[in-house]
Structure 1
Amino acid sequence: MDLDVEALRDAVIDVALRGGEMLRQRFGSASRVRTKSSRYDLVTEADEAIEAELTAYVRRQFPDHAVVGEEDVSRRVLSGQAASRQGAVAQAAEGREWEWLIDPIDGTTNFIHGLPIVATSVAVMYRDEVLAGAVFNPMQDELFVAVRRHGATLNGRPLRVSTEEVLAESLLATGFQYDAVEGRRLNVELFRVVLNEARNVRAIGSAALSLCYVGAGRLSGFWELRLGPWDLAAGALVVREAGGRLSRLDGGPFDIWQPSVVATNGRIHDQLVALLRQASAGA
Structure 2
Amino acid sequence: AGDAKPRVQASSDALAHLDDRGTTTDRVAEPMPDLDDLSAFRDLAVQVARAAGRMIREAHAQRAGGGDGGELSVAVESKGSEQGAPAAEASVDLVTATDKACEELIIGTIRERFPKHCFIGEESTFAGGGAADAPLELGEQPTWIIDPLDGTTNFVHGYWPVTVSIGLAVRGELVLGVIFNPLLDEMCVATKGGGATLNGRPIRVGGAAGVGEALVVNNLGASRNPAMNTLATARIGALLQASLRGLRNSGSAAQNMIDVAAGRLDAYFEDGFGGPWDVAAGYVIVHEAGGVFRDHLGGPFTLRAGKGQVLCGNAAVVEDIARVLRSVEPGGGQARG
TM-score, normalised with respect to structure 1: 0.91
SS of residue in 1 equivalent to 2:221? coil
Aligned-pair identity (%): 37
Describe how 1:199-278 pairs up with structure 2 within 5 A.
Answer: 199-227=245-273, 228-257=275-304, 259-278=308-327
| C-alpha deviation, 1:96, in angstroms | 6.0
Deviations 1:151-180 (A, max 9, x none): 000000001111111211110000012145
Describe how 1:133-152 pairs up with structure 2 within 5 A.
Answer: 133-152=177-196
Are 2:77 and 1:34 equivalent residues in the alignment? yes
Is the 2:59–2:74 Cα contact (8 Å) retained in structure 1? no
Q: CA, structure 1 residues 177+56, in 2 after alignment: closer, same or farther (shift >3 Å)?
A: same
Output the CA distance in 1 between the equivalents of 2:49 and 2:40: 14
Match of 2:48 in 1: 15
- Tell me how large the CA RMSD over aligned residues is: 2.1
Match of 1:189 in 2: 234
Output the CA distance in 2 between the equivalents of 1:119 and 1:213: 12
Are 2:153 and 1:109 equivalent residues in the alignment? yes
SS of residue in 1 equivalent to 2:290? coil
| Aligned length in residues | 275
- 5+ residue gaps, structure 1, are none
Higher RCO, Cα 8 Å, sep 6+: 2
SS of residue in 1 equivalent to 2:145? strand
Output the CA distance in 2 between the equivalents of 1:57 and 1:226: 30
1:77 to 121, 129, 135: 129
SS of residue in 1 equivalent to 2:123? helix
Q: Give the aligned residue type for 1:25.
A: E
Higher percent of residues as helix: 1
Is the 2:168–2:177 Cα contact (8 Å) retained in structure 1? yes
| C-alpha deviation, 1:129, in angstroms | 0.9
- 5+ residue gaps, structure 2, are 1-31, 64-69, 82-90
Q: Give the aligned residue type for 1:269.
A: V
| C-alpha deviation, 1:256, in angstroms | 2.1
Describe how 1:122-141 pairs up with structure 2 within 5 A.
Answer: 122-141=166-185
Is the 1:175–1:223 Cα contact (8 Å) retained in structure 2? yes
Output the CA distance in 1 between the equivalents of 2:155 and 2:103: 15
Output the CA distance in 1 between the equivalents of 2:302 and 2:43: 25
| C-alpha deviation, 1:262, in angstroms | 0.5
TM-score, normalised with respect to structure 2: 0.77
Describe how 1:49-64 pairs up with structure 2 within 5 A.
Answer: 49-64=101-116
| C-alpha deviation, 1:31, in angstroms | 3.1
Describe how 1:81-96 pairs up with structure 2 within 5 A.
Answer: 84=132
Q: Which has the larger radius of gyration?
A: 2
Q: Which moved more, 1:177-186 or 1:155-164?
A: 177-186
